[in-house]
Amino acid sequence: MRFTSQTSSDGVIEQLFTLPFTLGEIPGVLWTPDGTAGTRPLILMGHGGGQHKKAPGIVARARRFAAECGFAVAAIDAPAHGDRPRTKEHNRLIGEMRNRMQTGGDVAPVLAEFHTLLANQSVPEWRAVLDAVQELDHVGAYPVGYWGMSLGCGLGIPFIAAEPRIRAAVLGLNGAETSAEAAAQITVPVEFLVQWDDERVPRAASLALFDLFASAEKTLHANPGKHAEVPMFELDSSLRFFTRHLS
Amino acid sequence: MRFTSQTSSDGVIEQLFTLPFTLGEIPGVLWTPDGTAGTRPLILMGHGGGQHKKAPGIVARARRFAAECGFAVAAIDAPAHGDRPRTKEHNRLIGEMRNRMQTGGDVAPVLAEFHTLLANQSVPEWRAVLDAVQELDHVGAYPVGYWGMSLGCGLGIPFIAAEPRIRAAVLGLNGAETSAEAAAQITVPVEFLVQWDDERVPRAASLALFDLFASAEKTLHANPGKHAEVPMFELDSSLRFFTRHLS
């Protein structure tokens, strides 16, 4: 794991890193509260489709997790996103999705194929990042949470199902198409966000995914509005959810 | 308004009262934080069917609203509940509901008829109680919230629709059968609780009621479990919801 830059503002240190993995590198970012040593809960954040590790919604949440809760937070570019290379297969599926969006075709099956392709790559990458980050003196081995919406939910579900270090998850804006089998293996507490007027994820698919989680404690929060219009008070709720389950 | 008893414990004063109304009296209870003068937000709490103004779930929540948020809280016995008399019509409908529960019949239409009957009586009663309580020196005229589950939701919806002093509501455990028209007139922020495995309220009826509220801010919280198994962390959420909207 190699740190390439470090900045500090408003009590939060932000470190960009790259982690060598198989034939390439995983680019990531780590936020930690400034001036406090020792181990702490870690939140792994999975960005949405078309976004990247420093998308505004990721940065804003990560800084609050670090500043208000004292958590460490890590985000990485998902495969084919941000600074990651795209394969021919990535480009073919992205082109097909764009084409169907423009012509009013059915995007869902192509999106499901894309998510499945990325998840096969993403799960071992997240495990490698978690191994590396937990070895850092200012993070350490402590209970871990996962936060991911949309693509970050789709890639997070098989990761959470496979990774016992994850103890709680905030997920949402995704349906049951791609990750049904893994969802049914998740037993940790889940807070699941649904946008009631989501133009990308059918309401029934969201409710079906919530149904699948095997968690004894799972709570669904639905709010009016489109895919990208999650209200900011849900961030307050996420903060409290992780504090309750990781601290 | 006549106070009949006063006790104080753990920083909360509990006062029982009766309010003369038309031909009878409304029995109620008022909780306020001990030792702080002046006006404060008021929460009106509507109990569930078969319960009363001092049911354990009401008292536990009221005391936390008063102690932790500094709110005043009032609850009354709904018509035909607690210390209130029952008419022949009340008894007929209650008997019919019990009968259908025992024989596996369809309770929903009888319950809807019972709720409608009680709501006609309950709305003017709640308004009289609100008038009286807001005249007290230790409550005063300040924004008001309404909390009600099950019957307390069914009776609360027409009250909130009719009463502009109510600025925020936590509702739930009820479907769209009895209160659809009034629900569509509600525009204040609503936090709406659904039990995912509710044995009394069909999931689709709950979601349909949530859909009806005209509020720009409405949020649905669904949790696994039966009708009476709302998790306690939802009380924390209610506290924050009312604090956000009334303080």
What residue ranges define each of the domains in chain A, with the CATH number in brackets? 2-85+118-246 (3.40.50.1820)
pLDDT of residue A23: 77
Closest C-alpha to B80, from B113, B125, B50: B50
A223·B222 Cβ contact <8 A: no
Q: Which residue of A has its CA nearest to B215?
A: A224
Which residues in chain A are closer than 8 Å to B229, comparing Cβ atoms? none
Considering only the beta carbons, identify the residue of A217, A222, A233 that sits closest to B220. A222
Distance, in angstroms, between A205 CA and closest chain B CA?
Answer: 15
pLDDT at A37 over 90: no
Tokens of A25: 């590198």
Is the CB of A219 inside 8 Å of chain B's CB atoms?
A: yes
φ, ψ of residue B204 to 5 degrees: the values are: -65, -35
pLDDT of residue A213: 98
Which residues in chain B are closer than 8 Å to A217, comparing Cβ atoms? 224, 231
What is the distance between the alpha carbons of residues B16 and B54, in angstroms, rounded to a whole number? 10
Q: Which residue of B has its CA nearest to A213?
A: B224
What is the distance between the alpha carbons of residues B15 and B6, in angstroms, rounded to a whole number? 4
What is the distance between the alpha carbons of residues A4 and A156, in angstroms, rounded to a whole number? 26
B222·A220 Cβ contact <8 A: yes
A218·B224 Cβ contact <8 A: yes
pLDDT of residue B61: 97
Is the CB of B181 inside 8 Å of chain A's CB atoms?
A: no
B222·A224 Cβ contact <8 A: no
What is the distance between the alpha carbons of residues B154 and B201, in angstroms, rounded to a whole number? 12
Which segments of chain B have a pLDDT < 50? none
pLDDT at A63 over 80: yes
Q: Which residue of B has its CA nearest to A218?
A: B223
pLDDT of residue B177: 83
pLDDT of residue A38: 85
Q: Which residue of B has its CA nearest to A222?
A: B220
Distance, in angstroms, between B223 CA and closest chain A CA?
Answer: 5
For chain A, the average pLDDT equals: 95
Which residues in chain B are closer than 8 Å to A196, comparing Cβ atoms? 211, 220
Is the CB of A240 inside 8 Å of chain B's CB atoms?
A: yes
A233·B218 Cβ contact <8 A: no
Summarised one tens digit per residue, pLDDT across range A146-191 is 999 999 999 999 999 999 999 999 999 999 888 899 999 999 999 9
Q: Which residue of B has its CA nearest to A212?
A: B224
Q: How confident is the model at residue A214 (pLDDT cuts 50, 70, 90)?
A: very high
Which residues in chain A are closer than 8 Å to B186, comparing Cβ atoms? none
pLDDT of residue B161: 97
Is the CB of B245 inside 8 Å of chain A's CB atoms?
A: no
Cα separation values, A81 from A86, A134, A171, B13, Å:
8, 24, 19, 59
> What count of CB pairs under 8 Å joins A to B?
42
Distance, in angstroms, between A223 CA and closest chain B CA?
Answer: 5
- Alpha helices of chain B — where are they, by DSSP H? 56-69, 88-103, 108-134, 151-162, 180-183, 203-212, 233-246
B219·A218 Cβ contact <8 A: no
Summarised one tens digit per residue, pLDDT across range B141-185 is 999 999 999 999 999 999 999 999 999 999 999 998 888 999 999
Q: 10 Å Cβ neighbour count for B57?
A: 16
Q: What integer is the mean pLDDT of A198-221?
A: 95
Helix/strand/coil (H/E/C) assignment for every residue in B4-69: EEEEEECCEEEEEEEEEECCEEEEEEEEEECCCCCCCCEEEEECCCCCCCCCHHHHHHHHHHHHHH
CB A152 within 8 A of CB A44: no
What is the distance between the alpha carbons of residues A231 and A134, in angstroms, rounded to a whole number? 31
Closest C-alpha to B223, from B212, B209, B237: B237
What is the distance between the alpha carbons of residues B135 and B151, in angstroms, rounded to a whole number? 27
Distance, in angstroms, between A160 CA and closest chain B CA?
Answer: 20
Q: Which residue of A has its CA nearest to B213?
A: A224
Distance, in angstroms, between A200 CA and closest chain B CA?
Answer: 19
pLDDT of residue A108: 82
Is the CB of A209 inside 8 Å of chain B's CB atoms?
A: no
Q: What integer is the mean pLDDT of A189-217?
A: 96
B220·A220 Cβ contact <8 A: yes
- Determine the residue among A191, A210, A221 to mutate to test chain B binding: the one whose Cβ has the most chain B Cβ atoms within 10 Å: A221
State the complex-level ipTM. Answer: 0.87
